[in-house]
Amino acid sequence: MALTDLKIRNAKPTDKQQKLFDERGLYLLVTPAGGKWWRLKYRFGGKEKSLSMGVFPDVTLKQARERRDAARKLLANGVDPGIERKVQRAGAAERAANSFESVAREWFAKQAPGWAATHADKIMGRLEKDAFPWLGGRPIAEITAPEVLAVLRRVEARGALDTAHRVHQNCGQVFRYAIATGRAERDVSADLRGALPAARHTHFPSVTQPSEVAGLLRALDAFQGTFVVQCALRLAPLLFVRPGELRTAQWSQFDLDKAQWRYTVSKTKTEHLVPLASQVVAILRELHALTGQRTYVFPGRDVKKPMSGAAVNAALRRMGFDTKTEITGHGFRAMARTILHEHLRFPGEVIEHQLAHKVPDALGAAYNRTKFIDDRVRMMQAWADCLDKLKAGAHIIPIRGGTDPALN
């Protein structure tokens, strides 16, 4: 007799497996543990075989019969349904391995060790948010240029044109990796050059007029947040390193007796030396009493990790500064570059080396961490002294042709 839902639900497990037969080879296997598995009994090539049809109640009696009928059609056409299932699964596994997301994550895993953590997070964040939902499951070799353009248009439509260009760039990198690994024949994103409007790049907002610096510095000193963040705010203009390099600074990189900080530049992966002004050393010695036993100079809530990347900008906003139009943690670099060159008259190449920028010289050396080191030591102390005097109400009076301005 054919099975019914009631009979299936009332079937109780025993100490042995039970087979409850339906029709045309379909039966329900009831295990001693209480599991109920659909099976199809059939013959192919003179051999008796069994094919799984799913688990009850996830697969209902009606669905199991539909699967049985589909399998018997294959048999009628001379196809073993068990072999056909293996072929389909292998094809699905291959398509999954060659999907855009799989290739992208493989490419990312190869490249990420050479990137700064913040840079890597931004790339994967863009892919996960703007590309994977629409392209992730598609075989990369089958993706067309219009599909990629549709992804970019969605990003552009929300007003993030610069991000759209970066997604375009990242997609191109993934396609080129797929070509190199034999999973695609061409980079279809290359067909989209010029499809997006040119992005307008803006600089990080910064305070670059000496007359405005005093108020900013006094506001930093008056910050009422945690002592760790307060120290980070006081040091940011004095050191003018990249925000990620400041917040991830480790005590092992500092020699306070020699007034030096050595670390690896996040962008160029080169060693960098920051001479520490006496004011900086004083702040660090005070902070060392609190965090000196930790790895990071500025630990976060989880003391095993550095301070949040958003902490400095969040503190600036708490003090009333607009981080979109006035100042950001990165803006202290522009502040130092502008005032050191235009008002304190330090040579541009000395400033650029201290900023850890690549500045090719006549001998072709792109960067040397100790080049101009005597000038940089003097410059960093002069900069700290200048900020102290500005904070106290002095005014810069540039002396043309010199590097020692007067302040009154």
From the list 36, 110, 41, the residue with the least C-alpha distance to 75 is: 41
* Residue at token pair 């001479």: 275
pLDDT for res 62:
93
Of the candidates 122, 357, 369, 371, the residue annotated as catalytic is 357
pLDDT digits (tens, 9 = 90+) for 381-395: 999 999 999 888 877
- Global pTM reads 0.53
Q: Is 357 a catalytic residue?
A: yes
**What pLDDT shows up at residue 104?**
94
Residue ranges with strand state E in 167-213: none
Residue 401: the pLDDT is: 40
Q: Is the distance from CB of 26 to CB of 33 less than 8 angstroms? A: no
pLDDT at residue 219 greater than cutoff 90: no
401 Cβ partners below 8 Å, 6+ apart?
345
Mean pLDDT of 217-236: 90
Q: Which of 36, 234, 247, 333 is catalytic?
A: 333
The whole-number pLDDT of residue 396 equals: 66
Q: What's the pLDDT score for residue 364?
A: 43
Instruction: Please report, rounded to a whole number, the percentage of residues in the chain having pLDDT higher than 90.
Output: 51
pLDDT in tens, 292-307: 999 999 999 899 999 9
Closest CA to 243 of 307, 197, 288, 301: 307
Sheet containing strand 254-255, strands side by side: 254-255, 260-264, 271-275
Is the per-residue pLDDT at 402 higher than 50? Answer: no
Q: Which one is catalytic: 165, 234, 367, 376? A: 367
Is the model's pLDDT at 399 over the cut of 50?
A: no
In the prediction, which pLDDT does 368 show? 61
Is 165 a known active-site residue?
Answer: no
Residue among 119, 267, 317, 369 flagged as catalytic: 267
pLDDT tens digit string along 7-58?
Answer: 989 999 999 999 999 988 999 999 999 999 999 999 988 889 999 899 999 9
Marked catalytic residue, from 39, 68, 330, 337: 330
Q: Give the residues across from 272 on adjacent strands.
A: 263
Per residue in 77-112, pLDDT tens?
888 888 888 877 766 666 557 899 999 999 999 988
Note the pLDDT tens digit of each residue in 339-368. 999 889 999 889 999 998 866 554 444 556
Domains of the chain listed by start with CATH number: 5-91 (3.30.160.390), 100-192 (1.10.150.130), 210-407 (1.10.443.10)
Distance CA 100, CA 134 (A): 10
9 carries an active-site annotation: no
Instruction: Compute the distance between CA of residue 47 and CA of residue 27 in angstroms, rounded to an integer.
Output: 18
What's the pLDDT score for residue 30? 93
Active site residue 333: yes
Given a cut of 70, whether residue 201 has pLDDT beyond it is no
- Residue 330 a catalytic site member: yes
Q: Is the pLDDT of residue 263 over 90?
A: yes
Phi then psi dihedrals of residue 21, to 5 deg: -85, 145
pLDDT of the residue at 347? 92
Question: Using 50, 70 and 90 to split pLDDT, how confident is the model at 400?
Answer: very low
pLDDT score for 208: 73
- The answer for residues whose C-beta is within 8 angstroms of residue 381's C-beta and 6 or more apart is 275, 277, 278
Q: Which of 36, 183, 234, 242 is catalytic?
A: 242
**Which amino acid, residue 286?**
E
Lowest mean pLDDT among 29-38, 157-166, 202-211: 202-211
- Can you tell me the mean pLDDT for 222-244? 92
Average pLDDT of the residues of the chain: 87
Residue 370 has pLDDT above 80, yes or no: no
**Distance of CA 109 to CAs 102, 115, 124, 180, 351, Å?**
11, 11, 10, 15, 36
- pLDDT score recorded for residue 65: 93
Question: Across residues 197-202, what is the average pLDDT?
Answer: 69
CA distances from 84 to 49, 70, 87, 132 (A): 14, 12, 5, 30
Mean pLDDT of 300-322: 87
- Residue pair 383/238 in contact (Cβ under 8 Å)? The answer is yes
pLDDT at 363: 43
203 carries an active-site annotation: no
